[in-house]
Amino acid sequence: MVTKNPLIRIGLWLAEMAERWFPDAFVFALVGVVVTFLGGLALGEPAAELTHAAGASFWDLVPFTMQMAMVIIGGFVVASSPVMLRFIQHLATVPKTSRGAVAFVAAVSMLTSLLSWGLSLIFTGLLVREICRLLPRVDYRAISAAAYLGLGSVWAFGLSSSAALLQATPSSIPPELMEVTGVIPLTKTIFLWQSILCCVILILVSIAIAYWSCPGDDQSKSQSDLGISYKPLEVTLEPRQTPGEWLDYSRILPLAVVLISLPYLWSRFGGKSFLDAVAALDLNTFNLIFILLGLLLHGCPRSFGKAVSASVPATSGVLIQFPFYAMIFGMISKTSIGHFLGALCVKLSTPTTFPLLVAGYSAFLGMLVPSGGGKWIIEAPYVMAAANAHEINLGWTVQIYNAAEALPNLLNPFWMLPLMGILSIRTRELAGFSILQLLFHTPLVFFLTWILTYTLPYAPPQQIP
Protein backbone atom coordinates (compact mmCIF):
# COMPACT_ATOMS: atom_id res chain seq x y z
CA MET A 1 0.00 0.00 0.00
CA VAL A 2 1.43 3.40 -1.01
CA THR A 3 0.76 6.20 1.47
CA LYS A 4 -0.18 9.72 0.36
CA ASN A 5 1.45 11.28 3.42
CA PRO A 6 4.73 12.86 2.17
CA LEU A 7 6.36 12.77 5.62
CA ILE A 8 5.76 9.04 5.92
CA ARG A 9 7.15 8.48 2.40
CA ILE A 10 10.25 10.55 3.15
CA GLY A 11 10.68 8.90 6.55
CA LEU A 12 10.42 5.41 5.11
CA TRP A 13 12.80 6.27 2.28
CA LEU A 14 15.37 7.71 4.71
CA ALA A 15 14.93 4.70 7.00
CA GLU A 16 15.55 2.29 4.12
CA MET A 17 18.60 4.27 2.95
CA ALA A 18 20.00 4.39 6.48
CA GLU A 19 19.49 0.68 7.01
CA ARG A 20 21.34 0.01 3.78
CA TRP A 21 24.12 2.60 3.87
CA PHE A 22 24.55 3.87 7.44
CA PRO A 23 27.62 2.41 9.18
CA ASP A 24 27.85 1.11 12.71
CA ALA A 25 28.43 3.68 15.47
CA PHE A 26 31.98 2.41 16.07
CA VAL A 27 32.82 2.98 12.40
CA PHE A 28 31.84 6.64 12.85
CA ALA A 29 34.48 6.99 15.55
CA LEU A 30 37.19 5.40 13.41
CA VAL A 31 36.26 7.46 10.35
CA GLY A 32 36.38 10.59 12.50
CA VAL A 33 39.95 9.82 13.56
CA VAL A 34 41.07 9.33 9.95
CA VAL A 35 39.24 12.42 8.62
CA THR A 36 40.66 14.63 11.38
CA PHE A 37 44.18 13.33 10.73
CA LEU A 38 43.90 13.95 6.98
CA GLY A 39 42.44 17.40 7.64
CA GLY A 40 45.42 18.24 9.82
CA LEU A 41 47.82 17.13 7.12
CA ALA A 42 45.98 19.30 4.59
CA LEU A 43 46.49 22.30 6.90
CA GLY A 44 50.23 21.65 7.00
CA GLU A 45 50.35 20.08 10.46
CA PRO A 46 53.27 17.58 10.69
CA ALA A 47 52.15 13.98 10.75
CA ALA A 48 54.33 13.36 13.81
CA GLU A 49 52.49 16.10 15.74
CA LEU A 50 49.10 14.70 14.78
CA THR A 51 49.97 11.13 15.69
CA HIS A 52 51.46 12.24 18.99
CA ALA A 53 48.38 14.33 19.84
CA ALA A 54 46.10 11.40 18.96
CA GLY A 55 48.05 8.81 20.91
CA ALA A 56 48.66 11.03 23.92
CA SER A 57 44.95 11.86 24.11
CA PHE A 58 43.62 8.31 23.90
CA TRP A 59 43.03 8.10 27.66
CA ASP A 60 42.21 11.77 28.25
CA LEU A 61 38.48 11.12 28.48
CA VAL A 62 38.72 8.26 30.97
CA PRO A 63 37.11 10.27 33.82
CA PHE A 64 34.42 11.53 31.43
CA THR A 65 33.90 7.99 30.10
CA MET A 66 33.34 6.72 33.62
CA GLN A 67 30.95 9.60 34.31
CA MET A 68 28.94 8.75 31.19
CA ALA A 69 28.84 5.07 32.11
CA MET A 70 27.61 6.00 35.58
CA VAL A 71 24.92 8.23 34.04
CA ILE A 72 23.64 5.15 32.21
CA ILE A 73 23.90 2.89 35.26
CA GLY A 74 22.36 5.47 37.60
CA GLY A 75 19.49 6.15 35.24
CA PHE A 76 18.88 2.45 34.71
CA VAL A 77 18.84 1.47 38.38
CA VAL A 78 16.38 4.29 39.16
CA ALA A 79 14.13 3.57 36.18
CA SER A 80 14.11 -0.20 36.83
CA SER A 81 13.23 0.11 40.51
CA PRO A 82 9.79 -1.25 41.47
CA VAL A 83 8.31 2.23 42.03
CA MET A 84 9.58 3.72 38.78
CA LEU A 85 8.77 0.55 36.86
CA ARG A 86 5.14 0.86 37.89
CA PHE A 87 5.19 4.51 36.84
CA ILE A 88 6.70 3.63 33.44
CA GLN A 89 4.15 0.86 32.98
CA HIS A 90 1.37 3.33 33.77
CA LEU A 91 2.74 5.88 31.29
CA ALA A 92 2.96 3.16 28.63
CA THR A 93 -0.82 2.77 28.76
CA VAL A 94 -1.44 6.42 27.78
CA PRO A 95 -1.01 6.14 23.98
CA LYS A 96 -3.65 4.03 22.24
CA THR A 97 -2.35 4.12 18.65
CA SER A 98 1.04 3.65 17.02
CA ARG A 99 1.16 7.25 15.80
CA GLY A 100 0.09 8.56 19.20
CA ALA A 101 2.75 6.40 20.87
CA VAL A 102 5.56 7.86 18.75
CA ALA A 103 4.40 11.43 19.44
CA PHE A 104 4.01 10.66 23.16
CA VAL A 105 7.51 9.21 23.40
CA ALA A 106 8.91 12.25 21.56
CA ALA A 107 7.28 14.58 24.09
CA VAL A 108 8.49 12.58 27.10
CA SER A 109 12.01 12.38 25.69
CA MET A 110 12.31 16.14 25.16
CA LEU A 111 10.65 17.19 28.41
CA THR A 112 12.79 14.86 30.53
CA SER A 113 15.93 16.01 28.71
CA LEU A 114 15.32 19.52 30.06
CA LEU A 115 15.91 18.05 33.52
CA SER A 116 18.72 15.69 32.54
CA TRP A 117 19.84 14.25 29.24
CA GLY A 118 20.96 11.07 31.02
CA LEU A 119 17.55 10.57 32.58
CA SER A 120 15.93 11.22 29.21
CA LEU A 121 17.89 8.48 27.44
CA ILE A 122 17.31 5.80 30.05
CA PHE A 123 13.77 6.62 31.14
CA THR A 124 12.45 7.02 27.60
CA GLY A 125 14.26 3.92 26.38
CA LEU A 126 12.62 1.82 29.08
CA LEU A 127 9.26 3.47 28.28
CA VAL A 128 9.62 2.41 24.63
CA ARG A 129 10.13 -1.21 25.67
CA GLU A 130 6.89 -1.15 27.66
CA ILE A 131 4.91 0.60 24.92
CA CYS A 132 6.08 -1.93 22.33
CA ARG A 133 4.81 -4.72 24.57
CA LEU A 134 1.34 -3.13 24.57
CA LEU A 135 1.38 -1.93 20.94
CA PRO A 136 3.43 -4.62 19.17
CA ARG A 137 2.88 -3.21 15.65
CA VAL A 138 4.32 0.26 16.33
CA ASP A 139 7.24 1.03 14.03
CA TYR A 140 10.29 0.31 16.16
CA ARG A 141 12.53 2.57 14.07
CA ALA A 142 10.22 5.57 14.41
CA ILE A 143 9.58 5.18 18.13
CA SER A 144 13.29 4.59 18.85
CA ALA A 145 14.16 7.77 16.96
CA ALA A 146 11.48 9.60 18.95
CA ALA A 147 13.08 8.39 22.19
CA TYR A 148 16.31 10.03 21.06
CA LEU A 149 14.81 13.46 20.36
CA GLY A 150 15.75 14.85 23.77
CA LEU A 151 19.45 14.56 22.90
CA GLY A 152 18.85 15.64 19.31
CA SER A 153 16.86 18.77 19.95
CA VAL A 154 16.46 20.59 23.26
CA TRP A 155 18.63 19.05 25.99
CA ALA A 156 21.09 21.97 25.95
CA PHE A 157 18.23 24.40 26.67
CA GLY A 158 17.74 22.65 30.02
CA LEU A 159 19.35 22.28 33.42
CA SER A 160 22.12 19.93 32.24
CA SER A 161 23.50 22.32 29.60
CA SER A 162 27.26 21.90 29.99
CA ALA A 163 28.16 25.23 28.39
CA ALA A 164 25.61 27.27 30.36
CA LEU A 165 26.51 25.61 33.66
CA LEU A 166 30.21 26.15 33.04
CA GLN A 167 29.75 29.84 32.24
CA ALA A 168 27.63 30.34 35.36
CA THR A 169 30.19 28.71 37.68
CA PRO A 170 33.26 30.92 38.29
CA SER A 171 35.39 28.05 39.58
CA SER A 172 34.80 26.07 36.38
CA ILE A 173 35.78 28.80 33.91
CA PRO A 174 39.43 28.59 32.74
CA PRO A 175 41.33 31.84 33.47
CA GLU A 176 41.95 32.59 29.80
CA LEU A 177 38.22 32.20 29.09
CA MET A 178 37.21 34.27 32.12
CA GLU A 179 38.96 37.28 30.60
CA VAL A 180 36.89 36.95 27.44
CA THR A 181 33.44 36.04 28.81
CA GLY A 182 33.34 36.80 32.50
CA VAL A 183 30.59 35.04 34.48
CA ILE A 184 27.28 34.56 32.66
CA PRO A 185 24.45 33.57 35.04
CA LEU A 186 21.79 31.10 33.94
CA THR A 187 19.24 33.92 33.85
CA LYS A 188 21.13 35.23 30.83
CA THR A 189 21.41 31.87 29.02
CA ILE A 190 18.88 29.06 29.48
CA PHE A 191 16.31 31.26 31.26
CA LEU A 192 16.20 34.00 28.61
CA TRP A 193 12.70 34.30 27.13
CA GLN A 194 14.30 33.93 23.70
CA SER A 195 15.80 30.61 24.79
CA ILE A 196 12.50 29.38 26.21
CA LEU A 197 10.71 30.39 23.01
CA CYS A 198 13.22 28.45 20.86
CA CYS A 199 12.82 25.42 23.09
CA VAL A 200 9.00 25.46 22.91
CA ILE A 201 8.99 25.85 19.12
CA LEU A 202 11.46 22.97 18.65
CA ILE A 203 9.44 20.70 20.95
CA LEU A 204 6.18 21.39 19.12
CA VAL A 205 7.72 20.97 15.67
CA SER A 206 9.49 17.75 16.69
CA ILE A 207 6.31 16.21 18.09
CA ALA A 208 4.40 17.12 14.92
CA ILE A 209 7.06 15.56 12.68
CA ALA A 210 7.20 12.42 14.83
CA TYR A 211 3.41 12.09 14.68
CA TRP A 212 2.91 12.67 10.96
CA SER A 213 5.92 10.64 9.82
CA CYS A 214 5.03 7.49 11.76
CA PRO A 215 4.19 4.65 9.33
CA GLY A 216 0.88 2.86 9.63
CA ASP A 217 0.76 -0.67 10.98
CA ASP A 218 0.68 -2.06 7.43
CA GLN A 219 4.01 -0.36 6.57
CA SER A 220 5.77 -0.56 9.91
CA LYS A 221 8.75 -2.61 11.00
CA SER A 222 7.92 -3.76 14.48
CA GLN A 223 10.23 -4.92 17.23
CA SER A 224 9.67 -8.53 16.24
CA ASP A 225 10.23 -7.74 12.53
CA LEU A 226 13.75 -6.56 13.48
CA GLY A 227 14.39 -9.73 15.44
CA ILE A 228 14.25 -8.04 18.84
CA SER A 229 12.38 -9.83 21.60
CA TYR A 230 10.68 -8.12 24.52
CA LYS A 231 12.35 -8.61 27.88
CA PRO A 232 10.55 -7.56 31.06
CA LEU A 233 12.20 -4.95 33.25
CA GLU A 234 11.39 -6.55 36.58
CA VAL A 235 14.35 -7.20 38.85
CA THR A 236 13.19 -10.40 40.52
CA LEU A 237 14.77 -11.60 43.77
CA GLU A 238 15.15 -15.25 44.63
CA PRO A 239 14.36 -16.24 48.25
CA ARG A 240 17.17 -15.87 50.78
CA GLN A 241 18.76 -19.28 51.31
CA THR A 242 21.74 -18.89 53.67
CA PRO A 243 22.42 -16.87 56.84
CA GLY A 244 25.25 -15.09 55.03
CA GLU A 245 22.75 -13.55 52.63
CA TRP A 246 21.03 -11.61 55.40
CA LEU A 247 22.92 -8.41 54.62
CA ASP A 248 22.25 -8.87 50.89
CA TYR A 249 18.56 -8.36 51.64
CA SER A 250 18.97 -5.79 54.39
CA ARG A 251 17.21 -2.45 53.99
CA ILE A 252 19.35 -0.93 56.73
CA LEU A 253 22.63 -0.72 54.76
CA PRO A 254 21.31 1.30 51.78
CA LEU A 255 19.51 3.68 54.13
CA ALA A 256 22.66 4.11 56.24
CA VAL A 257 24.76 4.95 53.17
CA VAL A 258 22.18 7.50 52.01
CA LEU A 259 22.10 9.15 55.45
CA ILE A 260 25.90 9.33 55.51
CA SER A 261 25.85 11.09 52.12
CA LEU A 262 23.11 13.62 52.90
CA PRO A 263 25.35 16.13 54.77
CA TYR A 264 27.59 16.38 51.71
CA LEU A 265 24.62 17.02 49.43
CA TRP A 266 23.32 19.63 51.87
CA SER A 267 26.70 21.38 51.76
CA ARG A 268 26.35 21.59 47.98
CA PHE A 269 22.72 22.69 47.73
CA GLY A 270 21.40 23.63 51.17
CA GLY A 271 20.33 27.22 51.72
CA LYS A 272 20.97 28.23 48.10
CA SER A 273 18.61 29.82 45.65
CA PHE A 274 17.26 27.67 42.82
CA LEU A 275 19.72 29.11 40.28
CA ASP A 276 22.69 28.76 42.64
CA ALA A 277 21.68 25.18 43.38
CA VAL A 278 21.46 24.39 39.67
CA ALA A 279 24.88 25.95 39.10
CA ALA A 280 26.29 23.69 41.83
CA LEU A 281 25.01 20.58 40.04
CA ASP A 282 27.81 18.85 38.14
CA LEU A 283 28.09 15.40 36.63
CA ASN A 284 29.67 13.84 39.71
CA THR A 285 26.98 15.16 42.03
CA PHE A 286 24.28 14.23 39.53
CA ASN A 287 25.57 10.65 39.39
CA LEU A 288 25.84 10.45 43.18
CA ILE A 289 22.20 11.56 43.56
CA PHE A 290 20.98 8.95 41.09
CA ILE A 291 23.02 6.12 42.64
CA LEU A 292 21.74 7.01 46.12
CA LEU A 293 18.18 7.29 44.80
CA GLY A 294 18.58 3.88 43.15
CA LEU A 295 19.70 2.39 46.47
CA LEU A 296 16.67 3.81 48.21
CA LEU A 297 14.19 2.75 45.54
CA HIS A 298 15.53 -0.82 45.30
CA GLY A 299 15.67 -1.13 49.07
CA CYS A 300 18.33 -3.81 49.40
CA PRO A 301 21.85 -4.45 48.00
CA ARG A 302 20.81 -7.61 46.13
CA SER A 303 18.10 -5.86 44.09
CA PHE A 304 20.34 -2.88 43.41
CA GLY A 305 23.23 -5.14 42.31
CA LYS A 306 21.02 -7.07 39.89
CA ALA A 307 19.82 -3.80 38.35
CA VAL A 308 23.43 -2.66 37.89
CA SER A 309 24.29 -5.95 36.19
CA ALA A 310 21.33 -5.53 33.84
CA SER A 311 22.49 -2.00 32.92
CA VAL A 312 26.10 -2.86 32.06
CA PRO A 313 25.46 -3.99 28.43
CA ALA A 314 24.10 -0.52 27.66
CA THR A 315 27.50 0.99 28.57
CA SER A 316 29.58 -1.08 26.15
CA GLY A 317 29.49 1.39 23.25
CA VAL A 318 30.49 4.29 25.49
CA LEU A 319 33.39 2.38 27.04
CA ILE A 320 35.04 1.44 23.75
CA GLN A 321 34.25 4.49 21.61
CA PHE A 322 35.04 7.40 23.93
CA PRO A 323 38.83 6.79 23.75
CA PHE A 324 38.70 7.14 19.96
CA TYR A 325 36.73 10.36 20.25
CA ALA A 326 39.43 11.49 22.68
CA MET A 327 41.94 11.02 19.85
CA ILE A 328 39.83 13.34 17.65
CA PHE A 329 39.54 15.84 20.49
CA GLY A 330 43.31 15.78 21.01
CA MET A 331 44.17 16.33 17.36
CA ILE A 332 41.84 19.33 17.21
CA SER A 333 42.67 20.95 20.54
CA LYS A 334 46.45 20.28 20.62
CA THR A 335 47.31 21.22 17.05
CA SER A 336 46.54 24.05 14.67
CA ILE A 337 43.24 22.51 13.52
CA GLY A 338 41.14 24.12 16.24
CA HIS A 339 42.81 27.51 15.82
CA PHE A 340 42.31 27.38 12.06
CA LEU A 341 38.62 26.62 12.33
CA GLY A 342 38.09 29.29 14.96
CA ALA A 343 40.07 31.95 13.10
CA LEU A 344 38.14 31.17 9.94
CA CYS A 345 34.86 31.64 11.84
CA VAL A 346 35.96 35.04 13.14
CA LYS A 347 37.40 36.17 9.81
CA LEU A 348 34.29 35.32 7.82
CA SER A 349 31.80 36.71 10.30
CA THR A 350 30.10 40.09 10.47
CA PRO A 351 27.55 41.31 13.03
CA THR A 352 24.85 40.05 10.67
CA THR A 353 26.35 36.67 9.77
CA PHE A 354 27.93 35.94 13.17
CA PRO A 355 24.96 33.93 14.58
CA LEU A 356 24.77 31.81 11.43
CA LEU A 357 28.50 31.12 11.38
CA VAL A 358 28.58 30.22 15.08
CA ALA A 359 25.66 27.84 14.57
CA GLY A 360 27.23 26.27 11.49
CA TYR A 361 30.67 25.93 13.05
CA SER A 362 29.27 24.44 16.27
CA ALA A 363 27.20 21.91 14.32
CA PHE A 364 30.17 20.95 12.12
CA LEU A 365 32.61 20.57 15.02
CA GLY A 366 29.98 18.55 16.88
CA MET A 367 30.40 15.77 14.35
CA LEU A 368 34.08 15.49 15.31
CA VAL A 369 33.91 16.30 19.03
CA PRO A 370 30.47 15.16 20.28
CA SER A 371 30.79 16.59 23.78
CA GLY A 372 28.84 19.71 24.69
CA GLY A 373 31.17 20.74 27.52
CA GLY A 374 34.46 19.66 25.98
CA LYS A 375 33.64 21.27 22.64
CA TRP A 376 32.65 24.53 24.32
CA ILE A 377 36.10 24.75 25.90
CA ILE A 378 37.57 24.51 22.39
CA GLU A 379 35.21 27.02 20.77
CA ALA A 380 34.52 29.53 23.52
CA PRO A 381 37.76 31.60 23.53
CA TYR A 382 37.60 32.71 19.90
CA VAL A 383 33.81 32.52 19.43
CA MET A 384 33.19 34.72 22.47
CA ALA A 385 36.02 37.04 21.48
CA ALA A 386 34.30 37.53 18.13
CA ALA A 387 30.99 38.12 19.96
CA ASN A 388 32.67 40.91 21.92
CA ALA A 389 34.15 42.37 18.76
CA HIS A 390 30.77 42.37 17.00
CA GLU A 391 28.94 43.39 20.22
CA ILE A 392 26.65 40.33 20.23
CA ASN A 393 24.99 39.40 23.53
CA LEU A 394 27.32 36.91 25.24
CA GLY A 395 24.59 34.90 26.96
CA TRP A 396 22.72 34.50 23.69
CA THR A 397 25.94 33.42 21.97
CA VAL A 398 26.08 30.55 24.47
CA GLN A 399 22.51 29.66 23.50
CA ILE A 400 23.29 29.80 19.78
CA TYR A 401 26.00 27.27 20.52
CA ASN A 402 23.59 25.16 22.60
CA ALA A 403 20.88 25.14 19.93
CA ALA A 404 23.27 24.21 17.10
CA GLU A 405 25.31 21.79 19.21
CA ALA A 406 22.35 19.41 19.37
CA LEU A 407 21.94 19.20 15.59
CA PRO A 408 24.79 16.76 14.85
CA ASN A 409 23.43 14.47 17.58
CA LEU A 410 20.61 13.61 15.17
CA LEU A 411 23.20 12.18 12.77
CA ASN A 412 26.23 11.26 14.86
CA PRO A 413 25.56 7.95 16.70
CA PHE A 414 27.83 8.89 19.62
CA TRP A 415 25.02 9.77 22.05
CA MET A 416 22.71 7.12 20.63
CA LEU A 417 24.86 4.44 22.24
CA PRO A 418 23.13 4.20 25.66
CA LEU A 419 19.70 4.16 24.01
CA MET A 420 20.77 1.55 21.47
CA GLY A 421 22.03 -0.63 24.32
CA ILE A 422 18.66 -0.49 26.10
CA LEU A 423 16.59 -1.00 22.95
CA SER A 424 18.92 -3.54 21.29
CA ILE A 425 18.68 -1.51 18.09
CA ARG A 426 21.40 -0.54 15.63
CA THR A 427 22.25 2.96 14.47
CA ARG A 428 21.11 2.32 10.92
CA GLU A 429 17.66 1.28 12.14
CA LEU A 430 16.80 4.56 13.87
CA ALA A 431 18.94 6.96 11.81
CA GLY A 432 16.39 7.43 9.02
CA PHE A 433 13.69 9.03 11.18
CA SER A 434 16.36 10.90 13.11
CA ILE A 435 17.71 12.41 9.87
CA LEU A 436 14.15 13.38 8.92
CA GLN A 437 14.00 15.50 12.08
CA LEU A 438 17.40 16.99 11.20
CA LEU A 439 16.07 18.21 7.84
CA PHE A 440 13.48 20.33 9.68
CA HIS A 441 15.57 21.29 12.70
CA THR A 442 18.54 22.72 10.82
CA PRO A 443 16.83 25.64 8.99
CA LEU A 444 14.60 26.29 11.99
CA VAL A 445 17.50 26.51 14.47
CA PHE A 446 19.54 28.72 12.14
CA PHE A 447 16.62 31.08 11.56
CA LEU A 448 15.54 31.36 15.21
CA THR A 449 19.04 31.92 16.57
CA TRP A 450 19.71 34.53 13.89
CA ILE A 451 16.48 36.54 14.17
CA LEU A 452 16.37 36.53 17.98
CA THR A 453 19.92 37.88 18.16
CA TYR A 454 18.49 41.31 17.34
CA THR A 455 16.21 41.27 20.39
CA LEU A 456 19.09 41.31 22.90
CA PRO A 457 21.46 44.15 23.82
CA TYR A 458 25.19 43.70 24.21
CA ALA A 459 26.80 43.92 27.67
CA PRO A 460 30.56 43.69 28.38
CA PRO A 461 31.89 40.63 30.23
CA GLN A 462 30.92 40.56 33.91
CA GLN A 463 34.04 39.87 35.94
CA ILE A 464 33.83 38.56 39.51
CA PRO A 465 35.22 40.88 42.23
Determine if the pTM surpasses 0.85.
no
Q: What is the pLDDT of residue 365?
A: 74
Detail the DSSP E strand segments found in 246-285.
none
Q: Does a structural domain hold residue 47?
A: no
Amino acid identity of residue 452, one-letter, is L
Q: Does a structural domain hold residue 117?
A: yes
Nearest CA to 372 out of 387, 384, 362, 381 is that of 362
Express each pLDDT in 340-373 by its tens digit: 866 776 777 788 889 998 898 888 877 766 666 6
Give the residue with greater pLDDT, 163 vs 276. Answer: 163
The pLDDT of 148-161, averaged and rounded, is 86
- Dist. CA 154–CA 251, nearest whole Å: 38
The proportion of the chain whose per-residue pLDDT surpasses 70, expressed as a percent, equals 85
Q: Is the pLDDT of residue 315 over 50?
A: yes
Residues 6+ apart with CB under 8 A from 31: 23
Q: Does a structural domain hold residue 116?
A: yes
The count of domains in the chain is 1
Q: Does a structural domain hold residue 48?
A: no
Residues 6+ apart with CB under 8 A from 38: none
Q: Does a structural domain hold residue 231?
A: no
Q: Does a structural domain hold residue 235?
A: no
Q: What is the CA radius of gyration of the chain?
A: 23
Q: Is the pLDDT of residue 191 over 60?
A: yes
DSSP string, 327-347: HHHHHHHSSHHHHHHHHHHHH
Q: What is the pLDDT of residue 25?
A: 65
Q: What is the pLDDT of residue 2?
A: 47
Q: 122: domain range?
A: 6-33+61-222+248-455
Express each pLDDT in 401-432 by its tens digit: 999 988 888 877 667 777 777 787 777 777 78
Burial (CB < 10 A; 0-12, 13-18, 19+), residue 311, is buried
Q: Does a structural domain hold residue 356?
A: yes
The proportion of the chain whose per-residue pLDDT surpasses 90, expressed as a percent, equals 26
Nearest CA to 393 out of 452, 318, 321 is that of 452
Q: Does a structural domain hold residue 51?
A: no
